[in-house]
Amino acid sequence: MRKSELRDRSPRLKASFAVTTASGISGISKDISATGIYFELDEKQELGSLIAFWIELDTPGGMLKVVCEGEVARVVEEGGKMRVAARILNQRIES
């Protein structure tokens, strides 16, 4: 990775959230930032494709559903699982 890419990258938070794709496949996040997410799925994804997904957050004010559309930026197959990095293009919060 080039130094300019490191500088432009949003700070990441290691976090395990349940992730569900629009096709109903469940996975788990590995880390998340303001601009992207890295998660593990049992479903193959294609580099450059769009992926719709949501995460549910248990907050003091109740459950929140963060619905996102992203672009698959990296795919790594590891131990029968697909690790997917996606750049978040759109997001909305539902309560």
The CATH number, out of the four listed (2.60.120.680, 2.60.40.10, 2.60.450.10, 2.40.10.220), of the domain defined by the range 3-94: 2.40.10.220
Q: Is 6 helix (H, G, I), strand (E, B) or coil?
A: helix
pLDDT in tens, the chain (95 residues): 454 444 566 898 899 999 999 999 999 999 999 999 999 999 999 999 999 999 999 999 999 999 999 999 999 998 888 999 999 999 999 98
Residue 85 CA to residue 75 CA, distance in Å, equals 7
* Cα separation, 49 vs 29, whole angstroms: 19
Q: Taking the model in full, what pTM does it have?
A: 0.84
Q: What are the extents of the domains in the chain?
A: 3-94
